[in-house]
């Protein structure tokens, strides 16, 4: 990410415009005495970047300003954004924005909504709807959008924390920022990426779905057992009352119970007692038909046998016709013989041919016998000793209860019978296909690289650290704090003095920004605002320290050690060296430094740029012409 502040603008209520100009890839110094407005510049920059509350001094500064504005360079674009001055403690939501960096000569006018401007700048910081809070807290909700203001915690070392022994980041007295720091730290420094976060969120979602399915599957197995237990009890009870016959499986049992309910509601008498009568009646009718058919068939067979016997008794007629010459004939001989011969021929014809009656009767008997066998099996399957209801009311109450159970079974049957194995297998495959980098491994790697980077800074200023010059960097990832470790031990030293704490703050922030630049980070802007790191040595002295005292007599009164001057020079050289490190990486980095020391301390440092000296009446709010 590319970023630097080109200029800061204050539109005063007397019509004048106060401007300060900064250079990229430089340590921009504003120096001067106390109460001249140096620290207010940090508060003004913070206010322009959507602060929800402000710390701008009402006296002198805010009471004289109508609008505050910044001209910034972001990723090869130039923007001007301005915000109307607060009224007392109440902030303003009136913003002016120029996408080409135009700076109005007079007070700006509102031309954009704050949310629209936030979205626009957030996109330049690589923050979109996909970048969300990974886990929630008391104030921040998980899944809520990350504000670009959270990343600005990496861009300031205010006078409140420059020498703090416990806090290394600004705004940690506010719960919102206190919770935000551990939640955005990995994204800011490159431990994690948006792509990896989205994959992790997707995997978490899939794992949650998998867990739900596995629980549902286990519950289904449990419900299936309960389902069939209840079904078996209801079926057994129905059988005991003689309402349904035996069934081969659960599905058939359900079908029989449903039929029982339907028949009970429609008044059909398909209960066992009625079924006994129905089958018995049909068996009786079939038996009667069979008896009648068999009797008829017997008589028909007997008739044919009689005909055959008659045919046998008439066989002599054929002989007489053939041998009539040898017999004594009368006048009626031939008439009688012819009549008998005709009868014999008819009997032979009748007994020799098969009629449809023969086969039809046989088939009908077979069909009736088969039906009788089926009825007998159904009859045998009916309970022989069924319990009896006390009255019809009890019977229909049981039918109603069975109906209700069947409806519950029908409603839960999909869940009971559903097989989740294919869905579970598919989710497991999707989870396996998601390649998500381990944050824990990358956190360890980051800590190691950060300590290695900071160790180079420690070597540059080891003399200024005194007894701790040979100590090792020990960044505590969980606490987001930097400590010094005694060489070849695990012992963490309490460095004690505010001077050493000041150097620890510089080490940590410069180390973080170096790693962010090496990782081509696009969430943290490459600039750093430092407010008076020399305070541990000279406080807020207006005269700029002992080297600027006008006579030797003045120096003892100020009680400033020459070693403190060397420490300040070491810190200045460290900042100068960091700009060279950024340049060697083909990166640009801007430092804005508020101080009260004289320019002679950095005149030999090529990466320093004097913005202004606030002294002799010159201040952030200049005196009026009359004054």
Domain count of the fold of the chain:
1
Decide the pairing of beta strands 608-614 and 156-157: unpaired
Give the model's pLDDT for residue 551.
Answer: 36
Per DSSP, 436 falls in state -
Query: Is the confidence at residue 413, as pLDDT, over 60?
Result: no
Do 58 and 623 form a contact (C-beta atoms < 8 A)? no
Q: Among all chains, which residue has been given the structure tokens 């290695």?
A: 452
Do 54 and 86 form a contact (C-beta atoms < 8 A)? yes
Mean pLDDT over 335-353 rounds to 67
Give the model's pLDDT for residue 603.
Answer: 92
Query: Is the confidence at residue 98, as pLDDT, over 70?
Result: yes
Do 94 and 83 form a contact (C-beta atoms < 8 A)? yes
User: Helices 498-518 and 175-189, interaxial angle, to 10°?
Assistant: 50
C-alpha distance from residue 380 to each of 276, 341, 577 (Å): 10, 59, 105
Q: Assess if residue 345 is contained within a domain.
A: yes
Q: Assess if residue 366 is contained within a domain.
A: yes
Give the model's pLDDT for residue 560.
Answer: 46
Do 429 and 482 form a contact (C-beta atoms < 8 A)? no
User: Closest Cα to residue 454, out of 567, 572, 581?
Assistant: 581
Q: Among all chains, which residue has been given the structure tokens 């869940």?
A: 415
Give the model's pLDDT for residue 270.
Answer: 47
- Place 198 in a pLDDT band, splitting at 50, 70 and 90: confident
Which residues, 6+ apart, have CB-to-CB distance to 386 below 8 Å?
240, 241, 242, 272, 273
Give the model's pLDDT for residue 391.
Answer: 66
Mean pLDDT over 69-90 rounds to 96
Give the model's pLDDT for residue 215.
Answer: 84
Mean pLDDT over 195-218 rounds to 81
Query: Is the confidence at residue 330, as pLDDT, over 70?
Result: no
Both tokens of 420, joined, read: 């989740």
Query: Is the confidence at residue 58, as pLDDT, over 80?
Result: yes
Give the model's pLDDT for residue 260.
Answer: 77
Give the model's pLDDT for residue 439.
Answer: 78
Largest CA distance in the chain: 196
Mean pLDDT over 354-366 rounds to 71
User: Between these two residues, 434 and 13, which has the higher pLDDT value?
Assistant: 13
Q: Assess if residue 99 is contained within a domain.
A: no
Give the model's pLDDT for residue 29.
Answer: 97
Which residues span the domain enclosing 350? 242-386
User: Closest Cα to residue 515, out of 249, 191, 193?
Assistant: 191
- Place 568 in a pLDDT band, splitting at 50, 70 and 90: very high
Give the model's pLDDT for residue 74.
Answer: 96
Q: Assess if residue 357 is contained within a domain.
A: yes
Both tokens of 233, joined, read: 């009890």
Per DSSP, 145 falls in state B
Starting at the edge strand found earlier in the chain, the sheet holding 95-98 runs 17-21, 3-12, 65-74, 77-84, 95-98
Per-residue pLDDT tens over the stretch 257-314: 777 777 776 555 545 555 666 777 787 788 888 888 878 777 777 777 776 677 666 6
Give the model's pLDDT for residue 196.
Answer: 76
Least confident of 209-223, 226-240, 304-318, 534-548: 534-548
Give the model's pLDDT for residue 82.
Answer: 98
- Give the distance, in angstroms, between the CA of residue 215 and the centroid of all CA atoms in the same chain: 18
Give the rounded percent of residues in the chain with a pLDDT score beyond 90: 42
Do 454 and 511 form a contact (C-beta atoms < 8 A)? yes
Give the model's pLDDT for residue 496.
Answer: 78
Do 179 and 140 form a contact (C-beta atoms < 8 A)? yes
Least confident of 28-42, 318-332, 469-483, 597-611: 318-332
Q: Assess if residue 191 is contained within a domain.
A: no
- Place 550 in a pLDDT band, splitting at 50, 70 and 90: very low
Total Cβ atoms within 10 A of residue 382: 18
Which residues, 6+ apart, have CB-to-CB distance to 8 below 8 Å?
19, 20, 22, 41, 44, 45, 68, 69, 70, 71
C-alpha distance from residue 217 to each of 205, 407, 424 (Å): 18, 22, 9
Planar angle of CA 260, 266, 268, nearest 5 degrees: 65
Q: Assess if residue 286 is contained within a domain.
A: yes
Per DSSP, 491 falls in state P
Q: Among all chains, which residue has been given the structure tokens 């703050």?
A: 505
Q: Assess if residue 248 is contained within a domain.
A: yes
Give the model's pLDDT for residue 543.
Answer: 45
**pTM to 2 decimals?**
0.66
Per DSSP, 354 falls in state P
Q: Distance between CA atoms of 260 and 266, rounded to whole angstroms?
A: 10
Q: Distance between CA atoms of 627 and 623, rounded to whole angstroms?
A: 6
Q: Distance between CA atoms of 209 and 203, rounded to whole angstroms?
A: 10
User: Helices 421-433 and 194-240, interaxial angle, to 10°?
Assistant: 170
Containing 536, the helix (H) or strand (E) segment is: helix 535-538
- Place 577 in a pLDDT band, splitting at 50, 70 and 90: very high
Which residues, 6+ apart, have CB-to-CB distance to 336 below 8 Å?
none
Which residues, 6+ apart, have CB-to-CB distance to 342 below 8 Å?
none
Query: Is the confidence at residue 546, as pLDDT, over 70?
Result: no
Q: Distance between CA atoms of 258 and 345, rounded to whole angstroms?
A: 66
Planar angle of CA 422, 427, 433, nearest 5 degrees: 125
Mean pLDDT over 368-385 rounds to 73
Compute the half-sphere exposure of residue 339: CA atoms within 13 Å on the CB side of its CA: 4
Give the rounded percent of residues in the chain with a pLDDT score beyond 70: 76
Question: SS3 for 190?
Answer: coil
Q: Assess if residue 618 is contained within a domain.
A: no
Do 178 and 150 form a contact (C-beta atoms < 8 A)? no
User: Between these two residues, 453 and 622, which has the higher pLDDT value?
Assistant: 453
Q: Distance between CA atoms of 129 and 119, rounded to whole angstroms?
A: 10
Do 56 and 40 form a contact (C-beta atoms < 8 A)? yes
Which residues, 6+ apart, have CB-to-CB distance to 75 below 8 Å?
1, 2, 3, 124
Give the model's pLDDT for residue 374.
Answer: 82
Both tokens of 466, joined, read: 């005194």
- Place 64 in a pLDDT band, splitting at 50, 70 and 90: very high
Least confident of 80-94, 133-147, 369-383: 133-147
Per-residue pLDDT tens over the stretch 597-607: 999 999 999 99
Per-residue pLDDT tens over the stretch 470-487: 999 999 999 999 999 999
Query: Is the confidence at residue 553, as pLDDT, over 60?
Result: no
Give the chain's mean pLDDT. Answer: 82
Both tokens of 411, joined, read: 């409603």
- Place 505 in a pLDDT band, splitting at 50, 70 and 90: very high
Per-residue pLDDT tens over the stretch 392-405: 677 778 777 777 77
Give the model's pLDDT for residue 557.
Answer: 37
Per-residue pLDDT tens over the stretch 111-159: 999 999 999 999 999 887 666 666 556 666 666 678 899 999 999 999 8
Least confident of 61-65, 217-221, 428-432: 217-221
- Place 383 in a pLDDT band, splitting at 50, 70 and 90: low
User: Helices 439-460 and 498-518, interaxial angle, to 10°?
Assistant: 120
């Amino acid at each position: 990410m590319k970023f630097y502040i080109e200029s800061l603008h204050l539109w005063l209520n007397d019509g004048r415009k106060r401007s300060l100009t900064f250079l990229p890839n430089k340590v921009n110094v504003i120096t001067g005495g106390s109460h001249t407005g140096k620290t207010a510049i940090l508060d003004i920059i913070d206010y322009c970047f959507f602060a929800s509350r402000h710390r701008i001094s009402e006296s002198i500064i805010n009471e004289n300003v109508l609008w505050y504005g910044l001209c910034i360079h972001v990723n090869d674009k130039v923007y001007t954004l301005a915000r109307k001055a607060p009224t007392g403690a109440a902030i303003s939501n009136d913003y002016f924005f120029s996408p080409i960096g135009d700076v109005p000569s007079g007070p700006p006018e509102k031309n954009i909504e704050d949310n629209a401007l936030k979205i626009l700048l957030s996109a330049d910081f690589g923050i979109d709807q996909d970048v969300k809070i990974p886990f929630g807290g008391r104030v921040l909700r998980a899944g809520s959008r990350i504000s670009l203001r959270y990343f600005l915690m990496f861009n300031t070392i205010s006078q409140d924390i420059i020498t703090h022994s416990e806090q290394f980041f600004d705004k940690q007295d506010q719960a919102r920022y206190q919770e935000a720091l551990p939640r955005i730290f990995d994204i800011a420094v490159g431990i994690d990426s948006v792509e990896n976060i989205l994959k992790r969120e997707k995997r978490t979602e899939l794992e949650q779905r998998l867990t739900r399915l596995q629980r549902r599957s286990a519950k289904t197995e449990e419900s299936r057992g309960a389902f069939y237990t209840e079904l078996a009890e209801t079926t057994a009870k129905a059988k005991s009352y003689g309402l349904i016959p035996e069934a081969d499986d659960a599905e058939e049992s359900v079908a029989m119970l449903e039929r029982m309910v339907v028949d009970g509601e429609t008044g059909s008498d398909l209960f066992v007692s009625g079924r006994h009568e129905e089958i018995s009646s049909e068996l009786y009718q079939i038996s009667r038909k069979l008896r009648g058919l068999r009797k008829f068939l017997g008589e028909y067979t007997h008739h044919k046998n009689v005909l055959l016997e008659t045919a046998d008794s008439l066989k002599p007629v054929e002989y007489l016709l053939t041998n009539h010459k040898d017999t004594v004939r009368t006048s009626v001989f031939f008439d009688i013989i012819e009549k008998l011969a005709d009868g014999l021929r008819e009997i032979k014809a009748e007994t020799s041919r098969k009629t449809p009656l023969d086969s039809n009767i046989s088939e009908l008997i077979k069909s009736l016998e088969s039906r009788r066998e089926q009825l007998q099996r159904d009859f045998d399957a009916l309970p022989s000793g069924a319990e009896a209801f006390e009255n019809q009311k009890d019977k229909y109450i049981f039918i109603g209860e069975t109906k209700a159970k069947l409806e519950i079974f029908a409603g839960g049957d999909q869940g009971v019978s559903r097989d989740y194995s294919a869905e579970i297998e598919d989710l497991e495959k999707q989870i396996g296909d998601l390649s998500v980098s381990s944050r824990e491994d990358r956190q360890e790697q980051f800590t190691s690289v950060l300590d290695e980077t900071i160790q180079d800074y420690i070597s540059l200023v080891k003399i200024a650290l005194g007894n701790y010059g040979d100590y090792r960097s020990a960044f505590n990832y969980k606490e987001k704090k930097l400590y010094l470790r005694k060489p070849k031990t695990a012992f963490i030293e309490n460095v004690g003095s505010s001077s050493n704490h000041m150097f620890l703050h510089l080490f940590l922030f410069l180390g973080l920004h170096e790693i962010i630049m090496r990782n081509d980070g696009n969430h943290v802007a490459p600039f750093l605002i430092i407010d008076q790191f020399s305070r541990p040595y000279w406080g807020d002295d207006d005269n700029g320290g002992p080297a600027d005292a006008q006579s030797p007599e003045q120096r003892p009164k100020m009680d400033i050690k020459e070693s403190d001057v060397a420490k300040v020079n070491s810190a200045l050289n460290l900042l100068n060296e960091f700009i060279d490190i950024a340049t060697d990486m083909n990166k640009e980095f801007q430092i804005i430094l508020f101080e009260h020391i004289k320019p002679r301390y950095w005149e030999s440092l090529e990466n320093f740029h004097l913005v202004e000296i606030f002294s002799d009446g010159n201040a952030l709010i200049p005196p009026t012409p009359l004054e």
